[in-house]
Chains A and B, each alone.
Chain A
Amino acid sequence: MTTTTPAPVATPVRDALAARVLRALLTQRTVLIVVLLVIVLAAFMVMDANGYLTGPYDGDTLASALINLVPLAMLALAQMLVIVSGRGGIDLSIGSTVSLTGMVFGFAYQNWDLPLIVAVLVAMIAGALCGAVNGFLIAYLGFPALIATLATYYGYASIALVINAQKPVTGDRIAALYGAAAQSVELPVIGANLPNIPVGVFYFLLPTVVVVYLIVARTTYGRRLFATGTNDVAGRFAGIDVRDTRFKAYLLAGVIAGLVAVVTTAQFASARPDAGTSGNGMALPAITIAVLGGVAITGGIGRVAGVVLAGLLVVWLNAGIPLAISGNTGPQFQLLALGVVLVFAALLNGLTTRRYGGTK
Chain B
Amino acid sequence: MTENTTIADPLTLPDTGEARLHLTGISKRFGAVRAIRHADMTVKAGSVHALVGENGAGKSTLIKIIAGAESADTGEISFESAPVRISSTLEAIHLGIATVYQEPQLFAELTVSENIFTGRELKTGGRIDWRAQNDRVVELLELIGLPGRYATAVVGTLSIAEQQQVSIAKALAGKAKVLILDEPSAILTDAEIDVLFTVVRRLTSTGVSVIYISHRLDELFRIADEVTVMRDGTTLGTFGIGELSVRRIVELMVGGIIADEKPVRQIADLPARLELSALGLTGHFHNVNLAVRPGEIVGLYGLVGSGVSEIAATVYGIEQADSGEIRLDGTSIRPKSPRHAQKLGIALLPANRKLEGMFSFQPISFNISAGHLPLLSKGGWVNRKRETEVARDMIRRLAVKTPSEKQNIGAMSGGNAQKVVLARQLVERPEVLVLAEPTQGVDVGAKEEIHRIITALADEGTAVLVVTSDLSEALRISDRLIVVRAGTTTVEFGPDATQVDVLAAAAGDLHDDAAPETTTKGEGS
A residues adjacent to B (C-beta < 8 A): 1-2, 4, 6-10, 218-224, 226-227, 230-231, 233-241, 300-301, 357-358
Do the beta carbons of A1 and B360 come within 8 Å of each other? no
Tell me the complex Cα distance, A357–B362, Å: 11
Stretch of B1-9, B240-248, B365-373 on the interface side: B365-373
Tell me the complex Cα distance, A37–B365, Å: 32
Do the beta carbons of B359 and A231 come within 8 Å of each other? yes
The 4 closest A-B pairs by CB, nearest first: A8-B411, A6-B408, A238-B371, A220-B373
Residue B355 CB within 8 A of the other chain: yes
- The residue of chain A having its C-beta at the shortest distance from the C-beta of B377 within the complex is A220
Residue B403 CB within 8 A of the other chain: yes
Scoring A1, A231, A233, A235 by chain B CB atoms within 10 A of each residue's CB, the highest score goes to A231
Scoring A231, A236, A239, A240 by chain B CB atoms within 10 A of each residue's CB, the highest score goes to A239
In the assembled complex, which residues on chain B have CB atoms less than 8 Å from the CB atom of A240?
339, 370, 373
Do the beta carbons of A7 and B407 come within 8 Å of each other? yes
Residue B342 CB within 8 A of the other chain: yes
Known: A218-B382, A219-B382, A221-B380. A239 touches B371 (CB 8 A): yes
A241 CB to closest chain B CB (Å) equals 7
Identify which of B338, B361, B374 contacts A237 (C-beta below 8 A).
B338
Residue B410 CB within 8 A of the other chain: yes
Do the beta carbons of A220 and B338 come within 8 Å of each other? no
Identify which of B339, B355, B363 contacts A241 (C-beta below 8 A).
B339
Identify which of B360, B363, B374, B403 contacts A231 (C-beta below 8 A).
B360
Tell me the complex Cα distance, A357–B409, Å: 11
Do the beta carbons of B361 and A300 come within 8 Å of each other? yes
- The residue of chain B having its C-beta at the shortest distance from the C-beta of A4 within the complex is B406
What sequence of 0s and 1s flags, for each residue 376-416 of chain B, a beta carbon within 8 Å of any chain A beta carbon?
Answer: 01001110100000000000000000011011101111000
Q: Knowing that A1-B366, A236-B338, A301-B361 are A-B contacts, what are 7 other residue pairs whose CB atoms are under 8 Å apart, sorted by A's residue number?
A: A7-B403, A219-B377, A227-B366, A231-B359, A236-B337, A239-B371, A240-B339
In the assembled complex, which residues on chain A have CB atoms less than 8 Å from the CB atom of B355?
231, 233-234
Residue B508 CB within 8 A of the other chain: no
B residues adjacent to A (C-beta < 8 A): 316, 318, 337-339, 341-342, 348, 350, 355-363, 365-366, 369-371, 373-374, 377, 380-382, 384, 403-404, 406-408, 410-413, 424
- The residue of chain A having its C-beta at the shortest distance from the C-beta of B421 within the complex is A234
Identify which of A6, A219, A224 contacts B407 (C-beta below 8 A).
A6
In the assembled complex, which residues on chain B have CB atoms less than 8 Å from the CB atom of A223?
366, 369-370, 373, 382
Known: A224-B373, A300-B359. A238 touches B424 (CB 8 A): yes
Tell me the complex Cα distance, A237–B313, Å: 10
Known: A233-B356, A238-B424, A241-B339. A2 touches B361 (CB 8 A): no
- The residue of chain B having its C-beta at the shortest distance from the C-beta of A359 within the complex is B361
A235 CB to closest chain B CB (Å) equals 7
In the assembled complex, which residues on chain A have CB atoms less than 8 Å from the CB atom of B342?
239
Do the beta carbons of B356 and A237 come within 8 Å of each other? yes
Do the beta carbons of A237 and B350 come within 8 Å of each other? yes
Do the beta carbons of B411 and A9 come within 8 Å of each other? yes
A1 CB to closest chain B CB (Å) equals 7
Scoring A7, A224, A230, A300 by chain B CB atoms within 10 A of each residue's CB, the highest score goes to A230
In the assembled complex, which residues on chain A have CB atoms less than 8 Å from the CB atom of B371?
238-239
A352 CB to closest chain B CB (Å) equals 11
Tell me the complex Cα distance, A224–B365, Å: 13
Known: A4-B363, A218-B384, A221-B380. A237 touches B411 (CB 8 A): no
In the assembled complex, which residues on chain A have CB atoms less than 8 Å from the CB atom of B374?
220
- The residue of chain A having its C-beta at the shortest distance from the C-beta of B342 within the complex is A239
In the assembled complex, which residues on chain A have CB atoms less than 8 Å from the CB atom of B381?
218-220
22 A–B contacts from the bound complex (CB under 8 Å): A2-B365, A8-B408, A9-B411, A218-B382, A219-B377, A220-B377, A223-B366, A223-B373, A226-B359, A233-B355, A234-B350, A234-B355, A237-B316, A237-B348, A237-B350, A238-B370, A238-B424, A239-B338, A240-B373, A300-B362, A358-B361, A358-B410
In the assembled complex, which residues on chain B have CB atoms less than 8 Å from the CB atom of A219?
377, 380-382
- The residue of chain B having its C-beta at the shortest distance from the C-beta of A224 within the complex is B373
A357 CB to closest chain B CB (Å) equals 6
- The residue of chain A having its C-beta at the shortest distance from the C-beta of B376 within the complex is A220
In the assembled complex, which residues on chain B have CB atoms less than 8 Å from the CB atom of A235?
359, 370
Do the beta carbons of B412 and A357 come within 8 Å of each other? no
In the assembled complex, which residues on chain A have CB atoms less than 8 Å from the CB atom of B358?
231, 234
Do the beta carbons of A234 and B357 come within 8 Å of each other? yes
In the assembled complex, which residues on chain B have CB atoms less than 8 Å from the CB atom of A241?
339
Tell me the complex Cα distance, A358–B525, Å: 55
Do the beta carbons of A230 and B407 come within 8 Å of each other? no
In the assembled complex, which residues on chain A have CB atoms less than 8 Å from the CB atom of B359?
226-227, 230-231, 234-235, 300
Tell me the complex Cα distance, A10–B339, Å: 36
B19 CB to closest chain A CB (Å) equals 44
In the assembled complex, which residues on chain B have CB atoms less than 8 Å from the CB atom of A239?
337-339, 341-342, 371
In the assembled complex, which residues on chain B have CB atoms less than 8 Å from the CB atom of A218?
381-382, 384
Tell me the complex Cα distance, A357–B381, Å: 29
Tell me the complex Cα distance, A10–B341, Å: 38
Tell me the complex Cα distance, A358–B363, Å: 13
- The residue of chain B having its C-beta at the shortest distance from the C-beta of A229 within the complex is B359
Tell me the complex Cα distance, A281–B360, Å: 35
Tell me the complex Cα distance, A277–B339, Å: 41
Do the beta carbons of A357 and B356 come within 8 Å of each other? no
Tell me the complex Cα distance, A240–B371, Å: 7
Tell me the complex Cα distance, A114–B382, Å: 37
Known: A4-B404, A237-B338, A239-B338. A9 touches B370 (CB 8 A): no
In the assembled complex, which residues on chain A have CB atoms less than 8 Å from the CB atom of B373?
220, 223-224, 240
Tell me the complex Cα distance, A226–B366, Å: 9
In the assembled complex, which residues on chain A have CB atoms less than 8 Å from the CB atom of B366?
1, 223, 226-227
Tell me the complex Cα distance, A6–B412, Å: 10
Do the beta carbons of B382 and A6 come within 8 Å of each other? no
B24 CB to closest chain A CB (Å) equals 37
In the assembled complex, which residues on chain A have CB atoms less than 8 Å from the CB atom of B377?
219-220
Tell me the complex Cα distance, A57–B404, Å: 45
- The residue of chain B having its C-beta at the shortest distance from the C-beta of A230 within the complex is B359
A6 CB to closest chain B CB (Å) equals 4
In the assembled complex, which residues on chain A have CB atoms less than 8 Å from the CB atom of B318?
236-237
Do the beta carbons of B406 and A230 come within 8 Å of each other? no
Tell me the complex Cα distance, A63–B311, Å: 63
Scoring B337, B357, B373, B413 by chain A CB atoms within 10 A of each residue's CB, the highest score goes to B373
Known: A223-B373, A227-B370, A230-B361. A238 touches B380 (CB 8 A): no
In the assembled complex, which residues on chain B have CB atoms less than 8 Å from the CB atom of A8?
408, 411
Tell me the complex Cα distance, A353–B407, Å: 17
Tell me the complex Cα distance, A301–B361, Å: 8
Tell me the complex Cα distance, A222–B369, Å: 12
Tell me the complex Cα distance, A43–B384, Å: 41
Tell me the complex Cα distance, A7–B404, Å: 10
A4 CB to closest chain B CB (Å) equals 4
- The residue of chain B having its C-beta at the shortest distance from the C-beta of A9 within the complex is B411
In the assembled complex, which residues on chain A have CB atoms less than 8 Å from the CB atom of B365?
2
Do the beta carbons of A1 and B382 come within 8 Å of each other? no
Known: A221-B380, A224-B373, A241-B339. A234 touches B407 (CB 8 A): no
Tell me the complex Cα distance, A10–B338, Å: 35
Do the beta carbons of B382 and A220 come within 8 Å of each other? yes
Tell me the complex Cα distance, A300–B406, Å: 16
Do the beta carbons of A6 and B380 come within 8 Å of each other? no
In the assembled complex, which residues on chain B have CB atoms less than 8 Å from the CB atom of A10?
411
Known: A9-B411, A241-B339. A234 touches B356 (CB 8 A): yes
Do the beta carbons of B357 and A237 come within 8 Å of each other? yes
- The residue of chain A having its C-beta at the shortest distance from the C-beta of B413 within the complex is A9
Tell me the complex Cα distance, A240–B407, Å: 22
Do the beta carbons of B362 and A230 come within 8 Å of each other? yes
Scoring B341, B361, B377 by chain A CB atoms within 10 A of each residue's CB, the highest score goes to B361
Tell me the complex Cα distance, A1–B384, Å: 11
B1 CB to closest chain A CB (Å) equals 40
